[in-house]
Structure 1
């Protein structure tokens, strides 16, 4: 018997001996008063054996056939390696007549390295290597802020960074971060009227 079943026998014996009330027994066992009465009746009629779990010693109804795991993994590996667990479970049932729950198949595939869990997929990141030569790629980012406090209108600061070296190439203040005003500006480094309104200076 398990420890919980032995505790039930001890508490129910005290109730039958009138040393404890049903309400007190229910509180100790963590059961409702109604469930405690049912257990008390079963214990009075059938003894301690009536309190053991009826499925003890029996094979689980959900137990899979021995060797089914290896068979399913081989099918997935050879035919459905690019399938996720949900789709693989459906196809295994429809085409191969093998019924395995989606979560069981997911666990097997993770254990065999055939599927990455959601946490593993989130943590997987392929780092991008920097460009090899100076000037190959210039990264541009903008930050909108009241850079001049109350002395001027809010504007965006554009930062130009060389990808290979990390060197700051240029910083610009523009009215807003837009393709036309920020990135396709004509005239090289000459100021525009919009930049002057922001308080930009060379």
Structure 2
């Protein structure tokens, strides 16, 4: 049980025991009075286990199937190794009839411990200047644009 569920159980037990009213319990849990009445009914029918969320431990309905994940990882390692995630996504849709987003493909491959063939590199902020043949050959001039260049600006 999570802390929130434990708190629900404690508050509902206090309400049923007569130590707390429905309004006080609603304020303590941040629920409405009607929701507290529903929680009491659930608790009376099934005990503390009835207050636990019913989807706990289940796989989400919209989750990708394990077979698809395995197929994607297998295709990348055997056939399409070296392509980036976006290109691999296009290849899967075109040749394998598997339609996924590039981020899903990336998540699947990283989950299997497969890294992309070529990592992204951050572009440099400025193009480096080519070096002069000798030190001191670089022409530097004053470019203030006003004044006479003797320190008066």
TM-score bracket, shorter-length normalisation: 0.5 to 0.7
Name stretches of at least 5 consecutive residues in structure 2 with no aligned partner: none
* Alignment-derived partner of residue 61 in structure 2: 61
Query: How many angstroms apart in 1 are the aligned matches of 2:24 and 2:118?
Result: 50
TM-score for both structures, normalised by structure 1: 0.50
The size of the alignment, in residue pairs, is 146
Verify the 8 A CA contact 1:26 1:32 in the aligned structure 2: yes
Q: Are 1:131 and 2:130 an aligned pair?
A: yes
Correspondence 1:151-166 to 2 at 5 A? 165=135
Name stretches of at least 5 consecutive residues in structure 1 with no aligned partner: 135-163, 176-196
**Structure 1 residue 126 displacement after superposition:** 9.1
* Alignment-derived partner of residue 83 in structure 2: 81
* Alignment-derived partner of residue 98 in structure 1: 98
Looking at CA atoms only, which structure, 1 or 2, has the larger radius of gyration? Answer: 1
Verify the 8 A CA contact 2:22 2:33 in the aligned structure 1: yes
Query: How many angstroms apart in 1 are the aligned matches of 2:99 and 2:37?
Result: 41
- Kindly tell me: are residues 126 and 199 of structure 1, through their superposed partners in 2, closer, same or farther at Cα, counting changes over 3 Å? closer
RMSD between aligned residues: 4.0
**Structure 1 residue 12 displacement after superposition:** 0.4
- Alignment partner for residue 170 of structure 1, among 137, 140, 144? 140
Verify the 8 A CA contact 1:106 1:115 in the aligned structure 2: no
By percentage of residues, which structure has more strand? Answer: 1
* Alignment-derived partner of residue 41 in structure 1: 41
* Alignment-derived partner of residue 26 in structure 2: 26
Verify the 8 A CA contact 2:43 2:50 in the aligned structure 1: yes
Q: Greater RCO between the two (CA within 8 Å, min separation 6)?
A: 2
**Structure 1 residue 8 displacement after superposition:** 1.6
